[in-house]
Chain A
Amino acid sequence: MRVLLIEDDTSTADYLAKGLREVGHVVEVARTGRDGLFLALNEGFDAIITDRMLPGPDGLSILRALRASGNRTPVLIVTALGEVDARVDGLDAGADDYLAKPFAFSELRARLDAMTRRAAATSEGEAAVLRVADLEMNLLRRIVRRAGQPIELLPTEFRLLEFMMRRPGQVLTRTMLLERVWDFNFDPTTNVVDVHVSRLRRKLDTGGPPLIRTLRGAGYVLGPG
Chain B
Amino acid sequence: MSGIRRSFALRVAALSAALVVLVCGAGFGWAYFQVAGALRTQLDAAIATDAEGYLEDLENFGPQGFAASVAVAARRRGALVLLRTADGGRVAGALDGAPIGLRGFTTLRAPDGRDLRVLGAALPGGLELMVGADLAPVRRGAAALTGTLPVAGAVAALAALLLGFVVARRLELRLRAVSEAGQAVITGDLSRRLPLHGTGDEFDRLAGTMNAVLARVEALVEGLQSTTASVAHDLRSPLFRLRQQLEAAVARPREPEADTRTLEASLAELDGVLVTFSALLRIAQVEAGLTGAEFEVVDLSALAGAVVELYAAVAEDAGQRLDTSVTPGQRVRGDPALLRQAIANLIENALTHGGPAVRVEVAVRAAPGSGPTLQVSDTGPGIPTIEHGRVLERFYRLDRSRNTPGSGLGLALVAAVARLHGASLRLDDAAPGLSVTLTFPKPDAFPEI
Which residues of A line the B interface, CB within 8 A?
Answer: 82-85, 87-89, 100, 102, 154-156, 182-192, 195-196, 199
List 8 A-B pairs, minimum CB-CB distance, nearest first. A88-B292, A85-B292, A195-B314, A195-B313, A156-B309, A186-B341, A84-B291, A185-B337
Judge whether B337 and A192 touch: CB under 8 Å. Answer: no
Q: For chains A and B in complex, what number of residue pairs have CB atoms within 8 angstroms?
A: 70
Out of A87, A182, A187, name the residue touching B310 (CB < 8 Å): A182
Judge whether A184 and B274 touch: CB under 8 Å. Answer: no
Out of B278, B290, B406, name the residue touching A189 (CB < 8 Å): B406
User: B413 — nearest CB in chain A belongs to which residue?
Assistant: A186
Judge whether A188 and B344 touch: CB under 8 Å. Answer: yes
CB distance from B350 to the nearest CB of A (A): 11
Chain B residues lying within 8 Å of A187, measured Cβ to Cβ, are: 275, 278
Interface members, chain B 280-329 (any A CB < 8 Å): 281-282, 285, 290-293, 306, 309-311, 313-314, 317
Chain A residues lying within 8 Å of B317, measured Cβ to Cβ, are: 195, 199
Judge whether B310 and A192 touch: CB under 8 Å. Answer: yes
Chain B residues lying within 8 Å of A196, measured Cβ to Cβ, are: 310, 313
Within 8 Å of chain A (Cβ to Cβ): is B340?
Answer: yes
CB distance from B242 to the nearest CB of A (A): 14
Query: Would A84 and B310 be within 8 Å (CB), given that A89-B292, A186-B341, A189-B352 are in contact?
Result: no
CB distance from A215 to the nearest CB of B (A): 16
Within 8 Å of chain A (Cβ to Cβ): is B348?
Answer: yes
User: B291 — nearest CB in chain A belongs to which residue?
Assistant: A84
CB distance from B70 to the nearest CB of A (A): 110
Judge whether B278 and A188 touch: CB under 8 Å. Answer: no
Judge whether B278 and A192 touch: CB under 8 Å. Answer: no
CB distance from A61 to the nearest CB of B (A): 18
In the bound complex, what is the Cα–Cα distance between A182 and B309 (angstroms)?
Answer: 10
Chain A residues lying within 8 Å of B405, measured Cβ to Cβ, are: 189
Which residues of B line the A interface, CB within 8 A?
Answer: 274-275, 278, 281-282, 285, 290-293, 306, 309-311, 313-314, 317, 336-337, 340-341, 344, 348, 351-352, 405-407, 410
In the bound complex, what is the Cα–Cα distance between A150 and B99 (angstroms)?
Answer: 137
Q: A189-B348, A190-B311 are in contact. List 7 more A-B contacts (CB 8 A).
A: A100-B278, A156-B310, A156-B313, A182-B306, A186-B278, A188-B344, A195-B313
Chain B residues lying within 8 Å of A87, measured Cβ to Cβ, are: 292
Q: What is the interface of chain B mostly: helix, strand, loop, or mixed?
A: helix
**What are 8 A-B contacts defined by CB distance under 8 Å?**
A82-B282, A87-B292, A184-B341, A189-B352, A189-B405, A189-B406, A192-B313, A199-B317
User: B277 — nearest CB in chain A belongs to which residue?
Assistant: A102
CB distance from B314 to the nearest CB of A (A): 5
CB distance from A44 to the nearest CB of B (A): 33
In the bound complex, what is the Cα–Cα distance between A64 and B431 (angstroms)?
Answer: 57
User: B284 — nearest CB in chain A belongs to which residue?
Assistant: A82
Judge whether B291 and A191 touch: CB under 8 Å. Answer: no
User: A178 — nearest CB in chain B belongs to which residue?
Assistant: B310
In the bound complex, what is the Cα–Cα distance between A57 and B344 (angstroms)?
Answer: 38
Judge whether A84 and B337 touch: CB under 8 Å. Answer: yes
Out of B282, B293, B348, name the residue touching A88 (CB < 8 Å): B293
CB distance from A190 to the nearest CB of B (A): 5
Out of B275, B309, B337, B344, name the residue touching A155 (CB < 8 Å): B309
Query: Would A84 and B293 be within 8 Å (CB), given that A184-B344, A185-B337, A186-B282 are in contact?
Result: yes
Judge whether A183 and B340 touch: CB under 8 Å. Answer: yes
Query: Would A192 and B311 be within 8 Å (CB), given that A84-B291, A183-B337 are in contact?
Result: yes
Judge whether B292 and A184 touch: CB under 8 Å. Answer: no
In the bound complex, what is the Cα–Cα distance between A156 and B282 (angstroms)?
Answer: 27
In the bound complex, what is the Cα–Cα distance between A199 and B407 (angstroms)?
Answer: 28
In the bound complex, what is the Cα–Cα distance between A155 and B340 (angstroms)?
Answer: 18
CB distance from A77 to the nearest CB of B (A): 14
Chain B residues lying within 8 Å of A182, measured Cβ to Cβ, are: 306, 310
In the bound complex, what is the Cα–Cα distance between A155 and B317 (angstroms)?
Answer: 18
**Most A C-beta atoms less than 10 A away, residue of B292, B293, B344, B351:** B292
Chain A residues lying within 8 Å of B311, measured Cβ to Cβ, are: 190, 192
CB distance from B334 to the nearest CB of A (A): 14
